[in-house]
Structure 1
């Protein structure tokens, strides 16, 4: 088969009400084109993103003049392929209308034989306003709605829902030709799609490669499959001939290199090359697979039914967060932003990400990165928080959408399950009520995911679990957010109705696939988008950049204040509010994560909402829009470690404690549990040590403490506990501190820091000491950025904390002397303190 690319050529676009044409990039985005051209200035500066909605009310035309290669014209079959059009569009080639598209999640192939010519072809794509479209659809046939963060009718178009705004995103309904465009040409046959399936036996893997071809009637097709090991050496080659559409080749791989999730082993990938030949025509496709078994075990037990990932028969506690695109402009997510994001996730000890159903099926590059870095993927289908049309045309469109994406993604090692939607079973069960929400609509909602889309997934990827919704107990509106079985969205903290984060302990679900707390963006990020007068947590601009709604009014910033004041003294300036919000967020998510991990194996997953921002606003993320790390992301590096200490206080008496050791490794080990009671200056009052035996894949209480006799009620503000888990050779595996009171009531002293900086070849090494106990030491640079190997940690005065900074992580090169001058510290000790 011959492919002639049409992307990257001299595309032009215009407003259909104007005559002037402008340069457009394909693949690309209308708004990015306007930004690059200077027609949109500072898109997220203060209130500037309001103009996006106005621009999206218009229609636009893209056009391309191109020539066709002779070898393309000589083929019997010719198609124009659009891998992604956003969204409602009419397509014309040389004045002939090819089709109307209404689904940005689909790939379209249009026959163009006898329309193409050698010279001066004109391809026109007229893209109509999605804003007007959803308004019209809502007027004509409104559906009951729960989502107050998005405009009416958003569910009636197959477009990225969150492009219209969400509780974590602004309303930026972009449009354009966002994926590749090309011509396919062939004579007799082509490869339609390929599916690999695995059977594992002791010391061997049998790999089945199913190749579906499209061939002219009666034509014999030869399919050759070659397999290369992770080092690139050819280990298998075989040909088979067929006159039917399906060719199957089995590969026996001895002593296979097995793929593991992050934290459990390496992630080797085998390359598969499939060549098809029909007469003198050839086509070749290459892709990678990881050899592993993967299943979601749901087994009856004393608590209901388990919900746990097993990879290579090893239970994997899923740790990570929800992926939302890291930019409002989808084509800007590609490349560096995705590479950096997955690197940061891996370094934070993630082993799983959940691709949320309110956005888009990401590009192949994201799954390739997850394959190479050992990150499991929970894949939602792109439906969220809404009812959808149930007419035949819409159902046919979404069936084709799901088919396209299941076929595209199913060979990836990282993909663990398909999920029908985000919150649609929970929102529309019989416990929730909205005007017009009838029994008939509820049944059609179930049928969409439990019949129509379930059939497509099971047909094209029968080896993976299809889960009907998130959260769900298995479908049928049976207790969708229940704790007996399935997965849970734990929003009783923050949303329903903003309880203290200690209420995470009331959540005893089997797999927590969503929970979260908001915080403000980093100060240096805000400086690029705000004016000095905006730098207040309740300024008009800060309110505007907050999109969280509680169904009555925008309350996100008020809720952030609530959680700040639950934790620390009243901050004295805007920078302290930012730090305090990030500290409260991180402490809350740590508390929830430790609780969920301590319940292992009853609970086998903790995925917080959300990983990264798509704009410089306020949200639940651990990484902000400029890829500056919040306190949460640094915390995650520790609370997602394979082995952690978790401190769980008595609900009614904080001086009574249980100390858990949680081990996600399949193997057990011997360690030393070391503890010290210290005063606020950091002086040791009492200490102890015990040798413990930690089992593989376990959570156990190894120490119970009762300090009610030794620490009087009025003295709780003076003391803290420090815990360490150390290997037998003295290496610290995990450490934690515990206050008997909230930090706002603790008698902190002001810490002074001494920092020794060493200059190594590729990194700087910081040896940090403090004059007294310091809570959550957050390091930063005045007017530069870098990544610290550890940050936002607690430190006692008799300890030296070693932190490394890779020289490659600086946004601008810095000398050792400059680093010393640039380095700044924030601590919880000093929040609200007048120095």
Structure 2
């Protein structure tokens, strides 16, 4: 029923909802142990976890340094107590009908006591709790809250013993993690430490109210022509109220509003938006955000009508589809996203938690990370299923910056049980988190898990694709199929309708790694049979949601591994601190030995860092270039996107990340930044020369000239120069194949030949690519390459200018000494050929800084430009 205000006298009104943040005065102690261990100490911060508090009191060494991870394992084997006291006068409580204690997140097994009385027992890190304590508050002003956290490993192992019929098993970490609804990476991973945290990892607060908005939700329906959108708003209430006012605004301008009398617990309204401002990923458009505001009014007759509660949410209007349809002239089906009726080839990266201790990840650090992804032209982040459902700020920033989010549910690399208690906990977890994130336009897909179908296949667990009865799945030795294909699917369809759901990543139906259906994780390079990265063009899939190559972080980060730093300039790579970290040195050496000139295993630390970063850069660039080539237009979308493993790290380590824990980019960062540009070109060697192609992912066709040049790598002599095509049409949003070419009268595939291709428009180079023979160790590089470099300044712009007389591979420019982190390169890790002048734009560098620069390339180095 809609209500319009009429004349009426003002009446006394109750106070608004009051929120008391319980973020002060917290103390912690070990539950058992020595007197010293059981001494109450102040927490380092709030929210918090036990390792942060112990670090603050210097009770444990920093587990991110050296081999200290092993020295802190005892922390996770103990039970820990947190407590605080707060004042709440009785007269204050008496003004309200309701009093609730809210725990947004408790990690993980926790018994909560208020004034000595148990009020909650929690066993799921990913759920929040709201406890009605109105009748539990005695006539006292001061109250005590106590949280007792139990050893999660022990609790999980007890659960395994209680359920021996389940086929327990995992990759990475103790198998008991599959019994515990806790961030799975806490148990240790092949890129992360085992640090079994516990504590109040999210806010705790008290709410006093007479009426409140318990949920503001909405969905959008967009017409086929995108000219009209309906915003269907729903407001859930708790307590007493007279009316709800709903206001829809855009850019601080009111679009529409309505006031509705409160007659039921749920109130709904529909707003129609004509010619909506559509939300796009940043590569294709802008990110306009609307605001829906709900105000709970205490009475329909009182004047003035006071607000009992107010809440608002920002959202974007966009249409999202996951397209899985048959291909023309190819087996299988497509897998790509269509946004606002536009097919999108997605380039992006997988996201893991940005710290082993998530309470210390600040909003500014989230913004720095997501901005870094955008800087690298990564339009999608996949929130990996072994971490956490990220906080609201993560998705807010992705909304603002136009980054798509592929959201996994929190299951990874194991066989999870599906008994009734677990199913109830998982459903609550799913409903809460899907409801929390459903208004974000950035969230474009939910996936049931990470690699659990791979685990099922390799462990030989039962999976009958023809059996469509979910009850039968619960009776198999892979009962989690019920979770992924029934429970979670139903939750997403009910709570966030219109958003694609995918049972797992990867998932293709009968076979988890079917390259022709669904998505795949391509680990035939690095893991599994460890194929050369040069084979990436043969290892694609309809959507590649994981692939990667390891690379060492920059020297400053590596030095942080050591307690006292690296004092020797030429520290050998074989060091216990480096070997302790999960860098998989044997696999690193295997790829170095195959691709680069020997010796590598005994190279200096600096050489080793550069070499691993070069190979990681080459591997990822090869994959991006090859798979974008397979985006061939309507009906021929052989690959719809790729997500590299991984964007970030949770601690300083050698891993697959393209930027390390300190947000310091590796060479691969700039490589994939280039390859993710909307307009690119590529070359592939064939026996008669080179195949060539161009990619135009923009929404407008382009006309370009295609120019190719070939040099001798030893002498720098120009072997061949030709215009391959003039006025060549690059249709919008697809790859275009060019004619192949070679060297007349010569063996084109000689390891001495280096080819470069340029897409030229109106005299400007839109894209370029330089192709060396591979493996690179077979290329006879000129050992005395004459590379020149100088710093140039023009007004507010600064750049480093590079030239060479011979072809040069993998030029990496770094800054030495203090202030290195303040120098930011827009481009780096480049290949250079004669007749070119390459500019590397840079911020934080000035004339006179030449002596701070170190320039390395494959087979050469230039120190001190003076």
Tell me the TM-score range normalised by the shorter chain.
Answer: over 0.9
CA contact (8 A) 2:648 2:660 kept: yes
Residue 115 of structure 1 aligns to a residue whose secondary structure is coil
Among candidates 810, 816, 824, match of residue 847 of structure 2: 816
Instruction: Tell me which residue corresponds to 2:650.
Output: 614
Query: Structure 1 residue 20 and structure 2 residue 57: aligned?
Result: no
Query: Structure 1 residue 175 and structure 2 residue 198: aligned?
Result: yes
1:436-475 aligned at under 5 Å gives the runs 440-473=475-508, 475=509
Deviation at 1:590, TM superposition (A): 1.3
1:272-421 aligned at under 5 Å gives the runs 272-279=292-299, 282-302=308-328, 303-421=331-449
Among candidates 233, 238, 246, match of residue 266 of structure 2: 246
- After superposition, give the CA deviation of every residue in 1:682-739 in whole Å (9 maximum; x if it has no partner): 33221112221000111121131244841277xx232200111122x22222111112
Q: Which 5+ residue runs of structure 1 have no aligned equivalent? A: 548-555, 808-813
Instruction: Tell me which residue corresponds to 2:722.
Output: 688
Deviation at 1:123, TM superposition (A): 0.7
CA contact (8 A) 1:83 1:180 kept: yes
Among candidates 216, 226, 232, match of residue 209 of structure 1: 232
CA distance in 2, matches of 1:342, 1:320: 11
CA contact (8 A) 1:146 1:434 kept: no
Deviation at 1:557, TM superposition (A): 1.2
Among candidates 555, 570, 581, match of residue 523 of structure 1: 555
Instruction: Tell me which residue corresponds to 1:108.
Output: 129
Instruction: Tell me which residue corresponds to 1:187.
Output: 210
Query: Structure 1 residue 586 and structure 2 residue 617: aligned?
Result: yes
Deviates more, 1:582-591 or 1:330-339: 330-339
CA contact (8 A) 2:793 2:846 kept: no
Deviation at 1:220, TM superposition (A): 6.2
Q: What is the aligned residue count?
A: 804
Residue 816 of structure 1 aligns to a residue whose secondary structure is coil
Deviation at 1:99, TM superposition (A): 1.0
1:11-90 aligned at under 5 Å gives the runs 11-17=26-32, 18-24=37-43, 25-68=45-88, 71-90=92-111
CA distance in 2, matches of 1:293, 1:471: 24
CA distance in 2, matches of 1:726, 1:826: 29
Deviation at 1:742, TM superposition (A): 2.3
CA distance in 2, matches of 1:288, 1:271: 4
Among candidates 117, 132, 145, match of residue 154 of structure 2: 132
Deviation at 1:52, TM superposition (A): 2.9
Closer/same/farther in 2, CA of residues 148 and 486 from structure 1, 3 Å limit:
closer
Instruction: Tell me which residue corresponds to 1:625.
Output: 661
Closer/same/farther in 2, CA of residues 226 and 562 from structure 1, 3 Å limit:
same
Query: Structure 1 residue 804 and structure 2 residue 841: aligned?
Result: yes
CA distance in 1, matches of 2:431, 2:124: 13
Instruction: Tell me which residue corresponds to 1:10.
Output: 25
CA contact (8 A) 1:138 1:153 kept: yes
CA contact (8 A) 2:214 2:236 kept: yes
CA contact (8 A) 1:323 1:611 kept: yes
Deviation at 1:467, TM superposition (A): 0.8
Instruction: Tell me which residue corresponds to 2:283.
Output: 263
CA distance in 1, matches of 2:442, 2:135: 43
Query: Structure 1 residue 717 and structure 2 residue 778: aligned?
Result: no
Instruction: Tell me which residue corresponds to 1:664.
Output: 697
CA contact (8 A) 2:126 2:429 kept: yes
CA contact (8 A) 1:208 1:248 kept: no
Closer/same/farther in 2, CA of residues 461 and 491 from structure 1, 3 Å limit:
same
Deviates more, 1:561-570 or 1:404-413: 561-570
Deviation at 1:442, TM superposition (A): 4.0
Query: Structure 1 residue 222 and structure 2 residue 250: aligned?
Result: no
Residue 859 of structure 2 aligns to a residue whose secondary structure is helix
Instruction: Tell me which residue corresponds to 2:764.
Output: 731
CA distance in 2, matches of 1:127, 1:757: 57
Instruction: Tell me which residue corresponds to 2:143.
Output: 121
Among candidates 217, 235, 241, match of residue 255 of structure 2: 235
CA distance in 1, matches of 2:63, 2:540: 43
Query: Structure 1 residue 828 and structure 2 residue 850: aligned?
Result: no
TM-score by length of 1: 0.92
Deviates more, 1:743-752 or 1:336-345: 743-752
CA distance in 2, matches of 1:635, 1:712: 26
CA contact (8 A) 2:595 2:775 kept: yes
Instruction: Tell me which residue corresponds to 1:150.
Output: 173
- After superposition, give the CA deviation of every residue in 1:434-473 in whole Å (9 maximum; x if it has no partner): 7999984445121111112221221111111111111112
Deviates more, 1:606-615 or 1:565-574: 565-574
CA contact (8 A) 1:418 1:465 kept: yes
CA contact (8 A) 1:569 1:831 kept: no
Among candidates 782, 791, 796, match of residue 757 of structure 1: 791
- After superposition, give the CA deviation of every residue in 1:522-562 in whole Å (9 maximum; x if it has no partner): 21111122254894444332221016xxxxxxxx2111111
CA distance in 2, matches of 1:67, 1:209: 42
Deviation at 1:365, TM superposition (A): 0.6
CA contact (8 A) 2:127 2:432 kept: yes
Closer/same/farther in 2, CA of residues 435 and 14 from structure 1, 3 Å limit:
farther
Instruction: Tell me which residue corresponds to 2:6.
Output: none
CA distance in 2, matches of 1:23, 1:43: 21
Deviates more, 1:538-547 or 1:459-468: 538-547
- After superposition, give the CA deviation of every residue in 1:285-332 in whole Å (9 maximum; x if it has no partner): 112111211111112234221111011111111101100011111112
Among candidates 709, 734, 737, match of residue 676 of structure 1: 709
CA distance in 1, matches of 2:220, 2:462: 46
Deviation at 1:387, TM superposition (A): 1.4
Residue 703 of structure 1 aligns to a residue whose secondary structure is coil
